[in-house]
Amino acid sequence: MGRLDNKIAIITGGASGMGAAMAKLFAEEGATVIAADINEENLAKISELEHVEGMKLDVSSDENWAEVTKAVINKYGRIDILINNAGISSEKGPDQISQADWTIMHNINAFGPFLGIKHASNYMKVAGKGSIVNTSSYTAIIGAGMNAYTASKGSLRAIARAAAAELGAFNIRINTVFPGVIETPMTAKLSEAKEAMDMLVQATPMGRLGQPEEVANAILFLASDEASYITGAELVIDGGYSAR
C-alpha cells in the first residue's frame, strides 16, 4: 500500500475492463485517479470508488484532451501519471477493412495516446517529472493478424519509443506494456467463439488467459517511482504466448 501516495493519475479507458482494474488499484495505492472514458454510464459507476473521479474524454479529440488536462491541472495542480489505456478492437479481416475502419481504429488506438503524451507532457515538463505508460498489444510484437488493430498497436509502439527518447531529458518516463488476450468486455466476443478461444489457450504456455488485475499490477510498477530509471521499456504480459 502507498506506492502512489499523493500522485495524480489519469487513466484513459478507466471506467471498464483493464482501465477499471487500474483505477481501483491505483486508488488503493494512494493516488487520486481521474478515470477518463467516453462511456458515461461506466463513468458514473467508477466514480463511486473512493479517490476516483470520472471525466468524459474522447481520446481521439485534440480539443477534448486539452480541456481534460487543463481541468485536472486547475483542480489538482499537476499530472504525475498518465496511462494511455483506451482502445478498441475489431474482428474484421483484411478483405473486410475499409478506409473508414482503418481511420477509426488509428484515431483511438494510436492518435489518442499521441495526444495524451502531447498534452500531459507539457505539464510534466513544467513539473520536471512524470510517468506515462501505454497499453499496446502482443500483436504488435509478433505481427498476429494483418488488420487495422495490429497496425494501430504497432503505431503506438513506435510513438512510445520516440517519446521516450525525446522526453527523457525532462525526466518524463514513457513505457509500454503488451498484453495478450485479457478477459475484459472488449474480448467478450472472442470468448463466445469456443474454437478460437481453445486455440489461444492451448498456444499459451501458461495455459490460460490473463486477468485485468495482472496487467494493472505491471502498470502500477512502471508508473511508480520504483521504476525511476526505466524508460523506453517494453513489457509483454501474455502468459508466454509470444515466446513460443
Q: Work out the widest C-alpha separation in the chain, in whole angstroms.
A: 52
Go through the domains of the chain in sequence order and give each one's CATH number: 8-239 (3.40.50.720)
pLDDT of the residue at 84: 98
Identify the pLDDT of residue 92: 84
Q: How is residue 120 written as a grid cell? A: 500531459
Strand duo 130-135 + 172-179: pairing: parallel
Output the pLDDT for position 177: 98
Helix (H) or strand (E) holding 221: helix 212-223
pLDDT at 137: 96
* pLDDT tens for the chain, residues 1 to 244: 799 999 999 999 999 999 999 999 999 999 999 999 999 999 999 999 999 999 999 999 999 999 999 999 999 999 999 999 999 988 788 899 999 999 999 999 999 999 999 999 999 999 999 999 999 999 999 977 889 999 999 999 999 999 999 999 999 999 999 999 898 876 666 555 677 778 888 999 999 999 999 999 999 999 999 999 999 999 999 999 999 8
What is the reported pLDDT for 193? Answer: 65
Q: Return the pLDDT at 190.
A: 58
Burial state string for 41-60 with b = 16 or more CB within 10 A and e = fewer than 16: ebbeebeebeebbbbebbbb
Which residues partner with 34 through β-bridges?
10, 53
Annotated catalytic residue within 76, 123, 138, 149: 149
Cα within 13 Å of Cα(203), Cβ side: 14
123 is catalytic: no
